[in-house]
Structure formats: C-alpha cells, structure tokens
Structure 1
Amino acid sequence: MSQPLNLASLGSLPAPIARPKYAREELSPGILHVGVGNFHRAHQAIYLDDLFNAGRDLDWALLGAGVRSGDEAMRRALAPQDWLTTVIELEPGANKARVSGSMADFVPVGEDARAIVEALDNPALRIVSLTVTEGGYCIDPATGTFNPEHPEIRYDAAHLDAPKGVFGALVAALRRRRERGVTPFTVMSCDNIPHNGRVTLDAVAGLADLVDPALASYIRDNVAFPNSMVDRITPATTDRERAILSERFGIQDNWPVFCEPFRQWVLEDNFPGGRPALEEVGVTFTSEVAAFELMKLRILNGGHAAIAYPAALLGIHFVHDAMADPLVRAFLDKLEIGEIIPHVPPVPGVDLKEYYKLIANRFANPDVGDTIPRLAQDGSNRQPKFILPSTRDRLKAGEDVTGLALESALWCRYCAATDDAGVPIALNDPIAARLTPAALAAKSDPAAFLSLRDIFGDIADAPAFRASFETALRSLWRAGTRNTLQRYLNGETL
C-alpha cells in the first residue's frame, strides 16, 4: 500500500528511504531557481539537500520559479506534496530512494514574470540559478552569440514592467534592486552551454542595452555570472516511473525523479553576495571550469547525439538498448576516439579516454531507462553546441570529418520524420516545421539541408564536410542506416 508524499507522511515512509534530517521551518530561501525540472531536482537540489542534512547553510534553500506552462504544471504537481521530491538513484541491482526537501516554496507562475521580479526584491535571495535548456538563451545558432532580435527579447525590452521571459525578469529585478540600493544577486546558469556564465551575461546585459544602456553597464560592472559544468543523466518522468515508485517503494509522488548514481558539478567561485558551502558536499570550485565544460559537452553530450539518430532510425527506444547494438556502439566508439577526443583540450586530473569509458558505461546502465526520443529532441539547438564545434576544429586542422559528417547526415535523415522501416517519427524541435521540409528536399539534393545557415554557418561551405555529408546522406537513403554504419566501420566508401 503506497502513500502520498507530503510533510505529514515523512515519518511513516518505509525505513530504507532517506529523508530530510532538517525541519522545513528551519529553512529560508537564499536561491531563486528558474526552471524546476527533473535535472535541477536530481542535481542542484540534491547537493543542497546533502548540505542541509549536514546542518549547514539552512538560509540557502531554494525558491522555485518559472515562466513557461511546464513550470506551472510542475508547481501544481509539487504543491500538494509540500515541494518535496522523491529521487531514485538507479544503480543496477541496487536502486535507492530518497526524499529531498531543499525547496522551501515556489513562486506563482502567471501570464508574465512579475511574480519573479517581486520575489527578487527580497535581499535574502542572493543567487538566481537557471535551467532553462540550451535553447532558452536566445542565441543565434550560426554565430553562437546573443540575438537581440529574438522575439522574446524584443517583447521584454518593450514591456519590462511586465516581462514574460526569464531574462526580462532578471533585468527588471536588477533595475529595481539598483534603484533601491540593494546588492545585486549572482546569476548562475546550470545549462549545457559552452561558457554558460558569459552567455547568460550576454543575454541579460544585451536585453538591458535595449532598455537602458546605463543599466546594462551597471549589470556588466556589478553582477556576477559564474561559469559552471553540470552532469547527471536524468530521464523524463512517465507513468512507468510513477508506478515503479509506488510498487517498489510505497510512495505516491506526482512527479518523481529517476536518475543515474553519478553526478558532477564544477563551478567558478564568483559569488560576491555569498554562497552555500557546496565544496563540503562534492562540488568542485575551480578557475578552469571551461576545460571541464568543453570535455563534457563534446564527449558526453556529443556522444548522446551520436547514438540518438542512428538508434532512432533503427527503431530503438531505450539508450541502453542502443548501447547494446553492436553497430551503434561501434559507431560511437570510433567517432569519440577518432574524431572528437583528439580535439578536446587537456583537463586537470582527467584522462580523457578513461572519462569516455565512464561515459559509455553510464549510457549502458539499463536501470536508468533513458530514451532515444529524449536524446534526439531539440537537435537544432544541440547540434551547433555539441557536434559542429568538433567538426569545425577538425576542418581548421585539415583533418578528416567523415564520422562527424555522417552524424550530421543521420540527424538530417532523422528530421525527415520516418525511420528506416517507414514508421513516423515525432520530431520534437522548435523549428521542426523548417527541418522536415529541408530534410525531405535533401533526399534528392543534400545541399538543401546545409542551406539551414543558422545551424551550419560556414561549415556548410567547407568542401570536405559538404562532400562527406552528401555521400553519407545518399547512402542512408539508398542503403539504410545499418548498412551505412557497417560500411563506415569497415572503412569502406559509403
């Protein structure tokens, strides 16, 4: 018999389930977090839960916030359970459940972000952290820089008294703090973006430039934007996970989080307004975040992309099943060792090939139940960040890009929205309406897909890449994914 999760039920949960050692009334918010999704609750919230369980820094609790409809859905799910979350760590044969209580409250989510702006009047909120996805930073994919013409940015610049986006909310809140003489908060991105602190600064200050150049200068001079690298594989929650939690652990949680045991957080120590003692619970503070960040983005996130599209075209649903497929696994190995890792700069204290072995083992964990559709989504934002930078580096060095071009061709073939058996693929991408027609046109003219300049940029003009991409795409349509992978692995002409 399972029981609903809430503060009143904590004491009666089954004994093996870890739960907060601190009382909720002991907490006070010090961090406002925008984007309360599965990853945040399996990562930042768990580090803080560990810290609070050690009796440390109880004035750094989380205040949830959001600006999207999904954020309101999360708020509705968590409210009846007093903002508690069950986190299940999926070690094969030894799954463990814990209840996290590091979130003290959740700002109401409305049609605009004024509730966030008002909440940030509280000087006790000294950090704003973000998990708003790679696509949430209003970046031009072709240039990798902030796009001041993005519709969300233009709207908020014209309506800063009632902004709808996260960056409009931050600019409005910083303007109010400046007017009131209140110390500005630190803005900490926890998204998978190269130099995420700098990217966040560009977005916040770039929007402020459109409103008040003096405010923009104040932000650049006074607000800290530390860089970070975050890592934990966290699948989406479905009724499958809810049923497992109920049946195995006796808990009814509206939105539990299932995740791998591994987690990592590397942070630049740039918090003028103070920060929790996260180094006490395993967070690495270093001035060399960029090295860790690039390693993870290229090897892990690039690896996810490398298996996502061939697996999807072969009709494989789970990531661990993709890793068990000899061709998909061999493609990943060859691409990582041969083309990606050679252009990852050294990382202090890390053997890159051993790091890749760790990554491959994590991908293969069958208990995680991560899905290929999750890895394959949002390719228009992920390709320019996780795959194409490796391609660009190799082109600059005059090196072969056959494998990377094949990966891009696999993405193009996937965007045609059917797998090799003709089964429809539901393309989950903000520009799906552009991608599918371009991918279908590329069946007869591969250049049609490369004409998406906002994604490929000048890489589309590189003769070596263009030729390899066209050859690979024609092979995928003519011979299919499995035969194309086999020929690539054999070193044959596609």
Structure 2
Amino acid sequence: MTPVEAAALGALSATAAVPSYDRAALRAGIVHIGVGNFHRAHQLVYLDELFGQGQAHEWGVTGLSVRLEDKGLRDDLVSQDCLYTVTEVSEAGADTRVIGALVDFVEPGNRAAMLAALTAPDTRIVSLTITEGGYYVSGDKPDLGHPDLVADAGNLDEARTVFGLIVSAIAARRTAGAPPLTVLSCDNLPHNGDLTRTLVEGLARAADPDLAAHIAQSVTFPNSMVDRITPATTPQQVEQLKAQKAIADKRPVFCEPFKQWVIEDRFASGRPALEAVGVTFVEDVTPYELMKLRILNAGHATIAYPAALLGIELVHEAMREPLVARFLASVETNYLLPASPSIEGVSREDYLATVTHRFGNPEVRDTTRRLCLDGSNRQPKFVLPAARELLARGEDVSGLALVSALWCRYAYGELEDGTPIEPNDPDWDTIRAAAIEARQDPSRFLAMRRVFGDLGEDPRYAEAFAGHLRSLWARGVRDTVEDYLRQKPA
C-alpha cells in the first residue's frame, strides 16, 4: 500500500498519473477559500493540467477555510504534502491522478495566517467555493444587515466572515501597495461575481467609504460558471482506492469525467492561461450560467425530491425509475429548455442529452440526499427564476410548481413510507415548520418570502402549487406525477 506523499510519487506512478512538474518551483498566486471536494476535483485539476504543460508555475494555490470544522481536512492534506488523488469514474473504468497544484493549506481559525496569505504580494487572485448558502442571500439579494456582516463592518480588525477577511486583506494590500486582487467566485449562483462584489463593497462601505471606493476602482469580480458532479467521498470509495490502486489517500475525491469552466475575462493583475486546458473565457458568462443553472441544477432538483420520497437513494437508480426519468424529460423540455438562453454554437438539446447521460452514470454514486440538500437556498437560485420568467411571458408553470411542491412534501420530514428524513437544510427547522403547516394550508409554505419572494402571491403559481401539494398528500407521489405527465408529456 502506497501512501499519498511527495516521497512516494515514484511508487504512486505505477497505478496513477502523478505531477510531471517540479512542485518545489510553484509559487502561490491564488488563495482559495473552501477547499472541499468540488474545488479539488475542478479548479485544482485544471491548474494541475496547466502546470503539467510547463506553464503558469507562479499560480499555485494556498488553501484557506474560515470553518473550524475543516481542521481535520487541512491536517490530513498537510500530512500528505498537500497532495491527494482524483479518480474519474464511469462505466468505462476509473482513472486516478495525483494532484499537486495545492501548495499550502492555512490552519482554519488562524486569522493572522489567513491574512498573511491573502495579503502576500504574489497573491493576485482570491477564489471561492463556499456553497450557495455562504453568501447571506435573502430572497434574491444579499442581506448586508446580517449580524455576521454587521459585526465585521464594525470591527474589520477582527473580521471573521469570508467577506470580512477579504475586505480586511484589501485594506492591508492598499496600505502596502500590493497589486490589486481579482475575487473569483466559483459557486453555483447566478451572477456569482456580481453577488460577491455587492457583499464585499457593501461591507467595505459600512466600514470605510474610502475603502469601498478603492475596491470599486481596482478590484475585479468576474462572473464564472463551473460544472462537475462531485459527490462526498464515502468510506467504501477510500477502501476501493486501496484495493484497486494500492493507494492510501486520507482525502481522495471521486467525480465524473465531465468538467466545464467558463469565466469572464476580467482580471485585475493577470491570470493563468487556463484556456490552454479547456477553460472558456468570455465577455459575458450570463447565458452559460443560466443554461447550466436551469438545465442541470434545476434538473437535479426535478429528480431529487420525487426519487427521495419514493425511497431511492442513488441518482443513477433514480434515472432508471421510469416515472422519475419521464418527469425529468417533461420538466426539461416543457419548462427548463424554453427558459434557457440561446448561445451561438451551443445546442441546448445536446447539452440536455449530455446532462441526462451524466445523471445516469452509475459509477459516480451520487445520492438523492445530496441533491435535496439546502433547498431553501437552491430553489430560489435554480427553479423559481425559471418560473418567474415563464410567468412573465404568460406561459404555464405547472411542472415547476410541482417540483417545488415535491420539495415542500420532502421538507415535511417523512418519506412516503413514513421513514423520518434527517435535517437536510441549514434552515431545516423553519422550512419543516412551514411544510407541516402547508399540509393543511399550502399558502403557508409560499409565505416564506426569503425563498419565494413575491412569487407565492402570483395566483397562477400559487394555485398550481397548492393543487399539486394537496394531491401529493391525498394520493401520493406516484399518482400525482403520473397525473401531471398525462397533461404534460415530454
């Protein structure tokens, strides 16, 4: 059994691809906040490929987390010289590679060390994968009055949030004359760069208007779109890596072969030439992100809730259930494709076919529970905007209302067979309380303005949602979805 560490790269090369470049020559030009599985399967893989071409060795990555619970992750990666494996899995087999693009990982909670990394003169990009729930969004806008942000604005020297740390670092860099930063969000949010700018500039404005003006003039916040299905690693996969590859990795990542990254080309102090490894740089990422958020992310929600309520635990098994597969096809073709933008040279229908194939990959072993996670943040980002757009055109939204009614039924906290659902949302208690009340009065769920905004007051949407929810309780998931499909086949 070969451990993942720098001294063992020669031995690891017998069963995995290993870095072909000199890691000692890498310099950290990027600080990344949120070194979870997705970042390690996505951005770090692209950079590893670029470094392997002999390019951009000044763009190594320092990892950072404000979450104390990430200390174990950090300690495990540091013990492996910041190396780890990524295994791409499909029916064709499993390809494993050792990723070397992470050069350091700051101890979570060590504010001085985090600021030192963020203010280092070589640091020119700060990137983020902090999940949809990390942006303090209420409705469709960030809540700058959130107590965490207000506390940071009142004392930047002790700022603890991601955005407070970034503002603190920018202030220190301005004083030191360091190069201006690019802050690059890589989370699944519409206009993620614009949202990040609003948070950073808004917090800075509350703390120091001159600093806010400096940020507006010198710091850039490109929007980006990222895509790669990357579930949480299971203990079985860790053992599988040992058995099949003779590799002992404390923090392996398993993902699908597909990956995509589209970025607006607005960088304050240069960037790595990632176009050489397949990254798409554009003037406006909006159509790409909308197509992905609607066809893929809203598609995930479409299959997640009916499958979970029926007791189906794995996504590829959900895709083999005819009812779920037909429901996905109907919602996609009748609602999500029409609400997705046209992009020159890109076929929405071909993209949907690729997405559907990816959902069915049996080797990824993605879970419906993961797709059901954090509905209170994901529904307003992925599903509800499509409903608003179609309503504005005067078109039907019954399928999208059913997706949200299925989420409400899931949030009640019981599967169809009565099995309890463990909390699966940062605001689970509030969501569940509303779902319980909605069993008798569906409008109680739609009254959550943080989620639905004014959509719940639109009689066309509210009537469709209420009818579906009543049917789910009276007749169950299968009959309700079948009734819908008779009216709206794919």
Of 283, 287, 294, 1:287 maps to: 283
Report matched runs for 1:238-317 at 5 Å. 238-317=234-313
1:42 partnered with 2:38: no
Residue 14 of structure 1: how far off its partner (Å)? 5.2
- The separation in 2 between residues aligned to 1:315 and 1:180, in whole angstroms, is 57
Residue 389 of structure 1: how far off its partner (Å)? 0.2
Q: Secondary structure at the match of 1:88?
A: strand
Contact between 1:113 and 1:166, CA under 8 Å: does it hold in 2? no
Residue 305 of structure 1: how far off its partner (Å)? 0.7
Q: Secondary structure at the match of 2:433?
A: helix
What do the CA deviations read for 1:66-96 (whole angstroms, capped 9, x no partner)? 1013432220221111111100001213210
- The separation in 2 between residues aligned to 1:403 and 1:445, in whole angstroms, is 20
Residue 182 of structure 1: how far off its partner (Å)? 1.7
Of 112, 115, 119, 2:113 maps to: 115
Of 227, 232, 235, 1:236 maps to: 232
Residue 158 of structure 1: how far off its partner (Å)? 2.0
Residue 272 of structure 1: how far off its partner (Å)? 2.3
Equivalent position amino acid for 1:345 in 2: P
1:483 partnered with 2:465: no
- The separation in 2 between residues aligned to 1:268 and 1:403, in whole angstroms, is 33
Aligned to 1:27: 26
What do the CA deviations read for 1:45-78 (whole angstroms, capped 9, x no partner)? 0000001111111110000001013432220221
What do the CA deviations read for 1:137-195 (whole angstroms, capped 9, x no partner)? 1122x2x1221111221121122112111100000000011112222211001001111
Percent of aligned pairs with the same residue?
Answer: 50
Contact between 2:19 and 2:100, CA under 8 Å: does it hold in 1? yes
Contact between 2:218 and 2:268, CA under 8 Å: does it hold in 1? no
- The separation in 1 between residues aligned to 2:279 and 2:382, in whole angstroms, is 24
Equivalent position amino acid for 1:43 in 2: H
Contact between 2:142 and 2:198, CA under 8 Å: does it hold in 1? yes
Residue 280 of structure 1: how far off its partner (Å)? 0.6
Unaligned runs of 5+ in 2: none
Residue 270 of structure 1: how far off its partner (Å)? 0.8
Q: Point out 4+ residue stretches in structure 1 off by more than 4 angstroms.
A: none
- The separation in 1 between residues aligned to 2:314 and 2:96, in whole angstroms, is 22
What do the CA deviations read for 1:442-482 (whole angstroms, capped 9, x no partner)? 11111111111111111001111111101100111111111
What do the CA deviations read for 1:335-394 (whole angstroms, capped 9, x no partner)? 010011112111121110111010000000000001111110010000000000001011
Q: Secondary structure at the match of 2:258?
A: coil
- The separation in 2 between residues aligned to 1:189 and 1:220, in whole angstroms, is 17
What do the CA deviations read for 1:418-463 (whole angstroms, capped 9, x no partner)? 0000001112211111011110111111111111111111100111
- The separation in 1 between residues aligned to 2:298 and 2:418, in whole angstroms, is 26
Contact between 1:139 and 1:145, CA under 8 Å: does it hold in 2? yes
- The separation in 2 between residues aligned to 1:355 and 1:64, in whole angstroms, is 32
**What's the TM-score, normalizing by structure 2?**
0.98
Contact between 1:307 and 1:328, CA under 8 Å: does it hold in 2? yes
Contact between 1:34 and 1:131, CA under 8 Å: does it hold in 2? yes
1:185 partnered with 2:178: no
Contact between 1:227 and 1:268, CA under 8 Å: does it hold in 2? yes
Q: Secondary structure at the match of 2:103?
A: strand
Residue 322 of structure 1: how far off its partner (Å)? 0.5
Report matched runs for 1:47-446 at 5 Å. 47-110=46-109, 113-140=111-138, 142=139, 144-446=140-442
Q: Secondary structure at the match of 1:435?
A: helix
Contact between 1:114 and 1:162, CA under 8 Å: does it hold in 2? no
Contact between 1:114 and 1:169, CA under 8 Å: does it hold in 2? no
**What's the TM-score, normalizing by structure 1?**
0.97
Contact between 2:376 and 2:451, CA under 8 Å: does it hold in 1? yes
Contact between 1:113 and 1:165, CA under 8 Å: does it hold in 2? no
How many residue pairs end up in the alignment?
488
Contact between 2:62 and 2:117, CA under 8 Å: does it hold in 1? no
Once the two structures are overlaid, the 10-residue window that deviates more, 294-303 or 85-94, is: 85-94
- The separation in 1 between residues aligned to 2:62 and 2:418, in whole angstroms, is 46
Contact between 1:327 and 1:486, CA under 8 Å: does it hold in 2? yes
Once the two structures are overlaid, the 10-residue window that deviates more, 47-56 or 177-186, is: 177-186
Cα RMSD after superposing both structures: 1.1
- The separation in 2 between residues aligned to 1:430 and 1:209, in whole angstroms, is 28
Equivalent position amino acid for 1:137 in 2: Y
Equivalent position amino acid for 2:290 in 1: L
Q: Secondary structure at the match of 1:188?
A: strand
Contact between 1:114 and 1:163, CA under 8 Å: does it hold in 2? no
Residue 117 of structure 1: how far off its partner (Å)? 1.5
- The separation in 1 between residues aligned to 2:124 and 2:63, in whole angstroms, is 14
- The separation in 1 between residues aligned to 2:17 and 2:116, in whole angstroms, is 35
Unaligned runs of 5+ in 1: none
What do the CA deviations read for 1:234-291 (whole angstroms, capped 9, x no partner)? 0101201111111111111111100000000111111120111101111011113111
